[in-house]
Structure 1
Amino acid sequence: MKQLIVALQGLPADATVLLEGDDGYAPLGALELLGNGGVLPDEVVLQPDMTPD
């Protein structure tokens, strides 16, 4: 997560974050934190914006 934050800090503040997938690109819609109870590191899931065009 630290690497992602550092990389994003160097980009323009008004830039759009896009996720690449099988069907092309989608804007970032949400972040979801999945806690693993201390056994494994927590995970952050980036979810695409599913709003119809």
Structure 2
Amino acid sequence: MNVRQMIELLGAFPPDAVVMFEGETGYDAISGITLEPGIQPGMPDEVILHPDMTPD
């Protein structure tokens, strides 16, 4: 999935809904996002979603 596809899909949901990440231990809220540029010519940039690691 690329950013354009994600934005299109998220556009169908309520704007105040919390975005969650499903991991091995359950669901976590997304606490941040970063851009990692492609490391070699022709490689795509990557958007990294960071889960909220705050203890429950």
Q: Same fold (TM over 0.5)?
A: yes
- Structure 2 distance, partners of 1:12, 1:38, is 37
Shift of 1:52: 2.0
Q: How many residues align?
A: 53
Determine the structure 2 residue equivalent to 1:31: 33
Query: Which residue of the other structure, out of 3, 11, 14, is the alignment partner of 2:13?
Result: 11
The runs of 4+ residues in structure 1 deviating greater than 2 Å are: none
TM-score using structure 1 length: 0.89
TM-score using structure 2 length: 0.85
Query: Which residue of the other structure, out of 33, 44, 49, is the alignment partner of 2:47?
Result: 44
Structure 1: runs of 5 or more not aligned: none
Name the Cα RMSD after superposition: 1.3
